[in-house]
C-alpha cells in the first residue's frame, strides 16, 4: 500500500482565504460580496497559494477570476462528470480511455482550486479524488501490457511528499512495458518553492519523465515561477504546457500570444489549448468554439509553429480529445458541431 500524504502547502483556504483576499484588494478597486463568496465556497471550496494571491490586482482580473468563487458557479447547467471518467475507470485511481496510456490519479492534493476545474465534483470533502490505496491501480498497469505511458494526475502529483512520490515512481519503473511517465501539474507556477533540489533529484532518478505544466495567463509566469521552470528544464525534464481557454482570462489574441511566447522563451513547448469541458458550475468561463478557432487562426499568422499549441476538445462521454480544425469537425449551425474522434467515429457536440 502507498498511503497518500501531502507535502506542506503554502496556501490559503477557508476563512484565511477571504481575510487574505480582503487585505490584498485595494480599497478603490471594488469589493466582492463575501457572503456570496462563502455561499459558493460551502459547495466548492476555495484555495489559493501565496504566490498567486500576490498577483491579484483587483476584482475580476485574470488571476482573481480563476481562483475566487463566483455566484455564477451555482448555475445548474453542465454535468458533474462530462467526460465520463467514472465509466472509464476499470479500477479505483485509473482512467483508461486510450489503448496505450492511462491516467493515474496519484494525489488528491492541489495547491489551488481552479474555479473551472474538471473535477469540481470531487471537492465536496478535502482529500477526495484519489484512492487511499494505489495497489489496485498499480496492479492494473502491471497486468495490462498495452499500456506504454502513465500520466500522473489528480489533484496534483507534485503535492505528494518526496518519499511518497519516489516510492510511486520506483514502483512504476519496475513495470517493463511502461516506457514513459508524464506528470500534469500546476505547481511550478502556483507554488514554485515546491520545486526543490530534493524534488528534482527524485524526478531525475526515473524513466523519461515529461511534465506538462498548467498555465493560463502570462502573469502566472512570475519571477519565482520562471526560476522553478528553469530548474526543471536544467534537471533534464522535458516540459510542455497546457492552457484552458477561459472567458475573461485569456480569450484574446494579445494575451495568448504573450503567454505562448513567454513559455517558449522559458524552454516550455506549448502543447494544448483546451476548449473548456462542460462541467457543472463553469459555464461563465466558456468561450465559443468559433471564437477559439478565430484566435488560433490569428495566432498562426503571427507566431511560429513551435510556439503554437493544438486547440483541442475533450469529447463528452469519454470519447477522447480531438484537435479542432477543418479535418475533424463540421459546423451544423445553432452551436452544434459534428466532430470525429481519434478512432474515426463521428459525434455531435452541442455548445
What is the spatial distance between Cα 133 and Cα 190, in angstroms, rounded to a whole number?
A: 27
* 89, pLDDT greater than 80: yes
* 128, pLDDT greater than 70: no
Handedness of CA 243, 73, 157, 312 (dihedral sign): negative
* 1, pLDDT greater than 50: no
Confidence (pLDDT) at 10: 77
Give yes or no: 331 in active site.
Answer: no
* 9, pLDDT greater than 50: no
Pairing of strands 209-214, 47-49: unpaired
Confidence (pLDDT) at 178: 97
Give yes or no: 314 in active site.
Answer: yes
Q: Residue 220, exposed/middle/buried by CB under 10 A (0-12, 13-18, 19+)? A: buried
Beta bridge partners of 213: 185, 241
Confidence (pLDDT) at 343: 87
For the segment 220-234, the average pLDDT, to the nearest whole number, is 97
For residue range 164-178, what is the model confidence (pLDDT) as tens digits? 999 999 999 999 999
Give yes or no: 88 in active site.
Answer: no
pLDDT band (50, 70, 90) for residue 239: very high
Among 130, 117, 111, 197, smallest CA distance to 168 is for 130
Which listed residue (115, 278, 321, 349) is catalytic?
321
Give yes or no: 101 in active site.
Answer: yes
DSSP state of 283: G
Give yes or no: 60 in active site.
Answer: no
Could you tell me which residues come within 8 angstroms of residue 269 by beta carbon, excluding any fewer than 6 positions away?
239, 240, 241, 263, 306
Give yes or no: 277 in active site.
Answer: yes
* 298, pLDDT greater than 60: yes
Where are the chain's structural domains? 11-74, 94-285
For residue range 33-81, what is the model confidence (pLDDT) as tens digits? 889 999 999 999 999 999 999 999 999 999 999 999 999 999 988 999 9
* 7, pLDDT greater than 50: no
Which listed residue (98, 142, 227, 323) is catalytic?
98
Report which of residues 251 and 126 the model is more confident about.
Answer: 251
Q: Which grid cell sits at 88?
A: 472509464
Q: Does the N-terminal peptide bond of residue 155 adopt cis geometry, omega within 30 degrees of 0?
A: yes
Return phi, psi of residue 133, to 5°: -125, 115
Which pTM was predicted? 0.93
* 236, pLDDT greater than 80: yes
For the segment 95-116, the average pLDDT, to the nearest whole number, is 94
Among 188, 142, 199, 185, smallest CA distance to 7 is for 199
Give yes or no: 110 in active site.
Answer: yes
Which listed residue (24, 50, 101, 227) is catalytic?
101
Give yes or no: 97 in active site.
Answer: yes
pLDDT band (50, 70, 90) for residue 143: very high
CATH code for residues 94-285: 3.20.20.70
Confidence (pLDDT) at 28: 61
Give yes or no: 77 in active site.
Answer: no
Confidence (pLDDT) at 124: 60
Q: 241 and 214 in contact (C-beta within 8 Å)?
A: yes
* 283, pLDDT greater than 80: yes
Q: Which grid cell sits at 63?
A: 488571476
Amino acid at each position: 500500500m502507498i498511503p497518500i500524504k501531502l507535502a506542506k502547502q503554502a496556501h490559503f483556504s477557508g476563512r484565511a482565504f477571504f481575510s487574505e483576499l480582503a487585505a490584498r484588494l485595494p480599497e478603490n478597486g471594488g469589493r466582492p460580496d463575501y457572503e456570496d463568496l462563502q455561499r459558493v465556497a460551502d459547495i466548492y471550496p476555495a484555495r489559493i497559494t501565496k504566490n498567486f494571491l500576490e498577483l491579484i490586482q483587483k476584482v475580476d482580473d485574470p488571476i482573481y477570476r480563476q481562483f475566487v468563487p463566483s455566484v455564477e458557479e451555482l448555475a445548474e447547467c453542465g454535468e458533474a462528470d462530462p467526460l465520463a471518467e467514472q465509466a472509464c475507470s476499470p479500477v479505483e485511481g485509473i482512467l483508461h480511455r486510450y489503448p496505450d496510456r492511462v491516467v493515474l490519479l496519484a494525489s488528491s492534493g492541489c495547491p489551488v482550486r481552479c474555479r473551472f476545474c474538471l473535477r469540481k465534483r470531487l471537492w465536496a470533502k478535502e482529500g477526495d479524488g484519489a484512492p487511499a490505496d494505489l495497489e489496485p491501480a498499480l496492479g492494473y498497469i502491471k497486468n495490462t501490457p498495452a499500456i506504454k505511458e502513465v500520466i500522473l494526475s489528480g489533484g496534483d502529483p507534485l503535492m505528494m511528499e518526496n518519499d511518497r512520490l519516489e516510492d510511486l515512481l520506483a514502483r512504476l519503473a519496475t513495470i517493463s512495458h511502461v516506457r514513459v511517465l508524464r506528470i500534469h501539474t500546476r505547481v511550478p507556477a502556483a507554488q514554485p518553492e515546491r520545486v526543490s533540489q530534493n524534488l528534482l533529484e527524485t524526478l531525475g532518478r526515473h524513466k523519461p519523465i515529461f511534465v506538462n505544466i498548467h498555465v493560463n495567463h502570462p502573469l502566472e509566469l512570475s519571477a519565482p515561477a520562471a526560476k522553478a521552470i528553469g530548474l526543471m528544464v536544467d534537471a533534464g525534464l522535458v516540459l510542455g504546457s497546457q492552457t484552458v481557454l477561459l472567458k475573461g482570462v485569456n480569450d484574446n489574441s494579445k494575451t495568448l500570444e504573450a503567454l505562448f511566447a513567454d513559455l517558449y522563451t522559458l524552454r516550455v513547448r506549448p502543447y494544448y489549448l483546451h476548449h473548456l469541458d462542460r462541467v457543472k458550475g463553469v459555464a461563465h468561463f466558456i468561450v465559443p468554439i468559433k471564437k477559439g478557432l478565430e484566435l488560433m487562426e490569428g495566432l498562426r499568422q503571427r507566431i511560429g509553429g513551435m510556439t503554437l499549441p493544438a486547440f483541442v476538445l475533450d469529447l463528452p462521454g469519454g470519447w477522447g480529445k480531438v484537435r479542432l480544425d477543418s479535418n475533424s469537425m463540421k459546423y451544423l449551425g445553432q452551436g452544434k458541431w459534428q466532430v470525429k474522434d481519434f478512432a474515426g467515429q463521428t459525434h455531435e457536440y452541442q455548445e
